[in-house]
Amino acid sequence: MLDLTRYSAIIFDMDGTLIDSMGAHIQAWRMACEHFGYPFDADYMHGLGGVPTKQTVVLLNQKFELDYSPDEVAEKKRECWLSLNDTPKIIESTCSVLKHYHGLIKMGIGTGAERKHAIDLLEKTGLSQLVTTLVTASDVSQGKPHPETFLSVAKLLGALPSECVVFEDTQIGYEAATRAGMDCILVQNGQIDLNGQTLLSA
């Protein structure tokens, strides 16, 4: 087991880090993009993992010089997600860390998902019983890569940023964690990438 005892708090991203839901999210984005006429690039959309849905629409509008309503596109993407009726699965490598340190180190989740969606996924996977501290896109004014999400989790946990380590699966999430002054361990294809760990200088 990865030794994280030097930290006072562990913060997890959700989609793609604790829960294997990125594939369904990408498929929902494909359907929404096709509906509105956005060119679809799976790699680009995966790179935006962790960015709140409405902000993703803003970025798509900028990239493709379109002007669709973020609310309208976000709602369509939500409808597409629900139509897939995806059964969420946990990612064993990170959930084993969560379970190992449960009750030993403070833990929270910082996600770019909307609160209702996040709670639904956490309840379906049973993770809501293990992690009660949750910050979502609904709770912050600036989503990832801004550090507000992770700083908010740390504040709720009563931990200094320098005492926290974040598990993330995207470069945008990694940037948010490091901008928050936290160490970050990347999760690649469901596996913890120890080479991706960044130890910030004191």
Query: Is the four-CA dihedral 156, 141, 126, 169 of positive or negative sign?
Result: negative
Q: Which two tokens stand for residue 92?
A: 């064993």
Task: State residue 179 phi and psi, 5-degree precision.
Answer: -65, -25
C-alpha closest to that of 122 among 84, 190, 187, 113: 113
Q: Which of 3, 13, 20, 41 is catalytic?
A: 13
Is 193 an annotated catalytic residue?
no
The type of residue at 159 is A
Report DSSP letters for 29-82, one per residue.
Answer: HHHHHHHHT----HHHHHHTTTS-HHHHHHHHHHHHT----HHHHHHHHHHHHH
Catalytic residue numbers?
13
